[in-house]
Structure 1
Amino acid sequence: MKLHPAEIAKLLRGFSFFSSFSDEMILQISTMTSIAEFDIGQYILREGEINTKLYFLKEGVAEIILASEVVAILQTPGDVMGEMSVVLKKPVTTSIRAKNKLVCFVIDSNYFSHVPQKDFDKFNALLFRVYSTVLADRLIKTNEKARLFEVANRELYEAQANLEKSTGKNVLLVDSDRKQLVLAKMAVGSSGVNMDVASDLTSAIQLLKSNSYDAIIFDENSKDICKEFKSISGSPKFVLITTKRVEENLPIIKELITIDNVITRDPDDKQLTIKTLLTTLTKLLSDDIFGIEKYLSWGVDIQTKKVSSSSERMLLKQEMVDYFLRLGIRKTILEKLFLVTEELLMNAVYDAPTDTQGKAIFNHLSRKTEVVLDSHQQSILSYGCDGIYLAVSVTDPFGSLNKKTITDYLENCYKGQPENLNQFKGGAGRGLHQIIENSDLTIFNVKPGKKTEVICLFFTELNKKEPNPSFHYFFGK
């Protein structure tokens, strides 16, 4: 791939890094800019190497690797790589590898030492400008990462503190991934909850024969443990934990539909994995599965609004968006939030209300028909943000959602056959599909016949990672 300097300058102008540079300066830089392509798995930079080049991401996704672990990804056009090794003239401290086909603009700092004498002062000033911008950008990112690190650490501490209230409870984790076992043991170990771990079914069965547990968590590779349930003493709560995408999750979830609690995890995100486990145990061991606050830092301002009619939806959504705009939440996140909240409110007004016999009251109506809810039918809209997660939830007083509805609707939507499900129901499950696909994580908390809470989480951190929506559900008794 070869581009004229004017074409390169036009593309560089669109990168935030160069936003304060003059057109003349960008054109000068473009004359010293080349294009490099990297295949999947190919390294752009390797830890310990001497580097003289600045790389600006044009297309693709790059992984930053430290001590053999992927610690971050770069996927925004204009993301800069190799800056600190160039500025400090020291070996590269982290490796960078192409996650897929990658295209970069490359500026070799050695070019600056070969400019004509008459242009030396001008290019020396240009070099200083580039370096100062690199350092300023790195400082901003470092400060933001420090803030996010502090928030994440605080959240983990709070989750662990909440779990300490369940001191004396016994938990069994059966997981074929030994790394996850070690991670879980360390996270739960200091909370006062006793956790036994097993990496295979044989070891798990031996533990079950000699111990009684309040909760048993198992991964999809250990599903055969379900055959031992009848012989298990006590009444433990069972949790299926899986790592796959929603569409790939559904067969195993449907196979184990009798399991009341299902969670997912991202093995590449240790902090989120730990928090998910701690939050899940806190919910189950305390017999309190409800509450948006369980997924946000302690002390976060939670806004709550009553949902009393279908005509209020627009006002409720606009008030929520205005609230988050004042907090500085990006519009791209708020667009998804707006869509998700519309579906949550539609479900709360038209789908959730049932009569004493469990029969839907308003589900047969067109979504354009005005519905006014009696006081005992009204739902609650809640939302808040702790700097890392933005959360919204709608809670209704009916508890009419069930596991089969969730899995059947999603399965048909992913197969492209939503019309196969109850053609008289508005949306035929498309709304549920929209909620999950536009959120980073959706949690269904249900006490059948009493209460349903749907919580949707959105990551506020820039370039958190590639979208991989998932859902959890918890069904109480």
Structure 2
Amino acid sequence: MKNDESPISEAGVKLKNMMGVVPLFAGFPPEMVEQLQKAASVLNFEPEQTILKQGELNKNLFFLVIGTVDVFVDGGIVASLRRKGDLLGEMSVITAKPCSATIVAQTPVELICINVDLFKQILGDRQDQFDHILYRIYSKILTDKVSITNERAKKVESALSALERAKAELQDINAQMERRVVERTQSLQTKLQELLNEHLNKLHDSLKSASEKSSDDTKSIFSEGLQKVDEVVRFLEPLVQRFDLEVSMKNKRVLLAQGERKAQTLSKMALGGTGITIDAAATFEESQEKVKTEKYDVILVDSDTVTLTETIQKISPQTKIV
């Protein structure tokens, strides 16, 4: 604070000028205004300087002339005052108790300070009239604050209602998106199965036709090919049953613990494009290491890795084994 208090005459002039523009002063009779000027002084504060401190006694009334001040309660900002004529410190003067808030200059601030003890000495036996006016002013300020609080409460209530509506709309949109994902994945499952069956049927028919037209020497070769196709079909049946491509498959992880590269290739063809993460291991040791370090939803085993089942059940009982 710049401790350069202006002469009372200067403070009186500024106070008198405020009387005509600040409704707060309407309750002061003209003769009391003249006496009020005698107890007035002008104070200037720089930004971040403290005007009133919570917990400390105060015996002055402050009227804001220029600038903005912030009001803090227990270290948290609760309001900012910037209107010409805003009153500071009135509650501590009325109750004769320590300040309930800290007031800090946000910008360069000019205040008119009324020394209440001096003013009451000047008033003499008219102190009760001043107290009555002060209570009336405080009641007006409190009413305005309650009105502002009510308006803010209505806005908050409106905002909360809007948030609830937005939440419900988002939940509905999310549900629609989930349904669409399920529909798309189910459609993908159907198309994948149809495409797979189509290719296998064509291959089967082609081999069968070629076998019928071939010589006895080559029929056995085609017959063996047909058997292989049937093996592939039988191999894929549990995959189709197990992995019906629901939405959750996008986050599934599968380990192909199969020694034969051909079996791994067929499994990858069947599962590729579904969103499943696929790992492959060709040996028992490699499979065992992956089971210990990664979490899998499904593990495909063959005759070379079937003994891995016991290890899997110990480490991850919830993992499905095919």
TM class, shorter-chain normalised?
Answer: 0.3 to 0.5
Bigger helix fraction: 2
Q: TM-score, normalised by structure 2?
A: 0.47
Structure number with bigger Rg: 2
More strand by share: 1
TM-score (norm 1): 0.33
